[in-house]
A and B are shown apart, each in its own frame.
Chain A
Amino acid sequence: MNKINRRQFIKSTGGFVAAAAAPAVHANGKSDYDAIVIGAGLSGLHAAMLLEENDMKVLVLEGRQRIGGRVYTLMHVPGKPEAAGEWIGGNYARMIATARKLGMDFWIPEQGGPDRGWAYEINGQFLSAQDWEKHPLNPMQGEDRSIPPHRMLWTISNKDNPLADQPLDAWLKPEFAKYDIPFDQYLRKRGYNEETIRLMDVTIHTNHISNTSALHELRRYHVNSFNAKHKFYEGNSYAQIKGGNSLLTDAMADSLKQQPLLGKTVVHFDQTSTNASVHCADGTKYTADHIISSIPMPVLRDITFSPRLPEQMQAAVNEVDYGLSMQAHFLIKKKFWEEDGMEPSIWSDRSIERFGVRNVNNEDGPPAGVAFINGEASHKYRLMSDEAIFNYVANELAEIRPSMKGALDPILIQSCERDPHGAGDWVYWKPGQIGKYAANMRERHGRIHFCGEHTAIMERGMEGAFESGERAALDVLFS
């Protein structure tokens, strides 16, 4: 074959060799599909797209009545905030390429982000950002005093990060196992005082700073720094999908030949030597040569496998938790920041934690705000009704800042945890769990393969989801 022909041959998906190299479709006549993918989040959708592109017959089953999983743009809330996966980093190669392929644009919406104006409430005192550096409540020394409270977690965690300049999979290497210890212990060893550690704990998504592995946190900031090396949108190393990240997951689902089935909650997996099946809560059963599950680990606790999961994997499913958060969205009826002359948004060490304001100048609709409560502080909201949460949060805010009295109208409550198909925000490894479990999370169980952000090796968050979907799809294609 000459060069041109060969290229064309490779580019087209047909040809006798394609048939010979690809697992034969319906090889044993016992499966309806080559592969079934559970979950229409980023990882599942990416896996399904890759398998279809390689001529496989694929079915995606999604438990919720919507596509996207932990990508969820609140399209009807002013400013269209992202309820979950928000920032796309410069190193999110798969996500960026997929978005471009599907004709999406990027943007940096006017939402303020980390650099919006924050006022602080610390130990009951309400203060402006400009007063922080010299304020007696500032617990830090030297140049650290200029780090504002809402940047302490990020900046201090990433200072002299032992993972810096290491490859992104270094967190799994034995030489770094010594950092698989409680994060507060790591910080204390580095000389940070208790008040600094307490303020760093405020917005951590994990269940208290002592309950997350330092190695997990160091990895988080290591990956973030790596993202800053690549610029992709108007010279920036971060952006979002223009119009909302949900447009991407919707377009990914639309691009599939076989549309995902919604409302299909998987409750049981079984497999024989020839195929594997999933059983859904509505009594339906689907069979395929391979299954890829993107179900988050804590949700897997309620799902049964026959034969059972290997012991180590089951132990991980039982023990590994996800970070938690709760969002209370409000419409802002009056510009209270103009009344008191302070910054619009609030960062606080009491249990409302953060109130972020969008559309300060009516850029994209009326002003709106979200109380964003992470980690153990979110526990108290678990059993409260929406109405009780709105009242509680509004009262707390009015207590911090009298100008906010009567300023808020409730819109909605959002939490990935308050949903049977969501486990929380993202995996967090407790001290010791990286060494114990992180290496096993992506091992296949016979014909069942696992993907999802929690199984990523190099990347985290949304790109971690893509990476894991790619890895699972390749496991299927090469098996």
Chain B
Amino acid sequence: MKRLLLTSLVASLILSVGSTAQAEESSTTEETEKQLMLGKRAFIRCVACHSLAEGEAHRTGPNLHGLFGATAGQKEGFAYSDALKNSTMEWNDENLRAWLLSPATVIPGNKMAFGGVPSEKELDALMAYLAEMTK
């Protein structure tokens, strides 16, 4: 009797723990995917200038593969402004967020013509998208 009770308790516990974890996982996946879809839309502002996948050609701006952790202005085959080339800035979360709000403020004299992402919501989504797509 006691044993039976314990078994069923454990079973139900496992079951409930299992289902909560599953639900949590699927809701975070859903959140992430939603964020990435928004990010894809925000990337409409960028796509004319920037390709994402490894080895894709530069456009008016450089290819962005391997962006996070890279030093700014160093991709081969792109004619950067001297301002960016000599900046030694690292593309980390903080610098990239500031850049996407106003590139001209972060490094004056660079040649990226971008007015800035207009809202925090869009910026969050764009950052998530870039992190995923430039890996």
Which of A15, A166, A459 has a CB less than 8 Å from the CB of B104? Answer: A166
Q: Which residues of B contact A166 (CB under 8 A)?
A: 104
Indicate the member of B33, B49, B119 with the most A CB atoms within 10 Å: B33
In the bound complex, how far is the Cα of B33 from the Cα of A10, in angstroms? Answer: 8
Q: Which residues of B contact A303 (CB under 8 A)?
A: none
Query: B133, A231: Cβ atoms under 8 Å?
Result: no
Query: A54, B111: Cβ atoms under 8 Å?
Result: no
In the complex, whether B72 has a CB less than 8 A from a CB of chain A is no
Q: Which residues of A contact B61 (CB under 8 A)?
A: 93
In the bound complex, how far is the Cα of B40 from the Cα of A22, in angstroms? Answer: 12
Query: B29, A10: Cβ atoms under 8 Å?
Result: no
In the bound complex, how far is the Cα of B122 from the Cα of A169, in angstroms? Answer: 20
* Stretch of A154-162, A324-332, A469-477 with 4 or more beta carbons under 8 angstroms from chain B: A469-477
Query: B33, A478: Cβ atoms under 8 Å?
Result: no
Query: B44, A93: Cβ atoms under 8 Å?
Result: no
Least Cβ–Cβ distance between B114 and chain A, in angstroms? 8
Which of A17, A457, A458, A470 has a CB less than 8 Å from the CB of B34? Answer: A17
In the complex, whether B108 has a CB less than 8 A from a CB of chain A is yes
In the bound complex, how far is the Cα of B7 from the Cα of A351, in angstroms? Answer: 100
In the bound complex, how far is the Cα of B130 from the Cα of A7, in angstroms? Answer: 11
In the bound complex, how far is the Cα of B103 from the Cα of A1, in angstroms? Answer: 33
Indicate the member of A7, A15, A21, A226 with the most B CB atoms within 10 Å: A21
Which of B30, B41, B114 has a CB less than 8 Å from the CB of A54? Answer: B41
Which of B30, B34, B41, B111 has a CB less than 8 Å from the CB of A226? Answer: B111
In the complex, whether A305 has a CB less than 8 A from a CB of chain B is no
In the bound complex, how far is the Cα of B39 from the Cα of A17, in angstroms? Answer: 12
We find that the number of chain A residues with CB closer than 8 angstroms to chain B is 40
Least Cβ–Cβ distance between B24 and chain A, in angstroms? 15
Q: Which residues of B contact A477 (CB under 8 A)?
A: 41, 44
Q: Which residues of A contact B113 (CB under 8 A)?
A: 91, 93, 167-168, 226, 458-459
- Binary per-residue interface labels of chain B (16-30) against chain A in the complex, 1 for a CB within 8 Å, 0 otherwise: 000000000000011
In the bound complex, how far is the Cα of B132 from the Cα of A29, in angstroms? Answer: 36
- Binary per-residue interface labels of chain A (447-479) against chain B in the complex, 1 for a CB within 8 Å, 0 otherwise: 000000000011100000010001001100110
Query: B115, A478: Cβ atoms under 8 Å?
Result: no
In the complex, whether A401 has a CB less than 8 A from a CB of chain B is no
Least Cβ–Cβ distance between B1 and chain A, in angstroms? 45
Query: B41, A474: Cβ atoms under 8 Å?
Result: yes
Query: A97, B41: Cβ atoms under 8 Å?
Result: no
In the complex, whether B36 has a CB less than 8 A from a CB of chain A is yes
- Binary per-residue interface labels of chain B (21-62) against chain A in the complex, 1 for a CB within 8 Å, 0 otherwise: 000000001100110111011101101110000000001110
In the bound complex, how far is the Cα of B113 from the Cα of A474, in angstroms? Answer: 18
Residue of A nearest to B103 (CB): A167
In the complex, whether A145 has a CB less than 8 A from a CB of chain B is no
Q: Which residues of B contact A168 (CB under 8 A)?
A: 113, 115
Q: Which residues of A contact B45 (CB under 8 A)?
A: 470, 474
Query: B30, A17: Cβ atoms under 8 Å?
Result: yes
Interfacial residues, chain A to chain B (CB-CB below 8 A): 1, 3, 6-7, 9-10, 15, 17-18, 20-22, 50, 54, 90-91, 93-94, 96-98, 165-169, 226, 229-232, 457-459, 466, 470, 473-474, 477-478
Interfacial residues, chain B to chain A (CB-CB below 8 A): 29-30, 33-34, 36-38, 40-42, 44-45, 47-49, 59-61, 79, 81, 102-104, 108-109, 111, 113-115, 119, 122, 129, 132-133, 135
Given A50-B44, A91-B111: 19 more A-B contacts, CB < 8 Å: A6-B36, A6-B132, A7-B132, A10-B129, A15-B37, A20-B34, A21-B34, A21-B38, A54-B41, A91-B60, A93-B59, A93-B61, A97-B49, A165-B108, A167-B102, A167-B113, A168-B115, A229-B81, A458-B115
Q: Which 7 A/B pairs are nearest by Cβ-Cβ distance?
A: A167-B104, A93-B60, A97-B48, A17-B33, A94-B48, A93-B48, A21-B37
A selection of 26 A-B contacts at a CB cut-off of 8 Å is: A3-B132, A6-B36, A7-B132, A10-B37, A18-B37, A20-B30, A21-B34, A91-B113, A93-B49, A96-B59, A97-B60, A98-B48, A167-B102, A168-B113, A226-B113, A229-B81, A229-B111, A230-B60, A458-B113, A459-B113, A466-B48, A470-B45, A473-B44, A474-B45, A478-B41, A478-B122
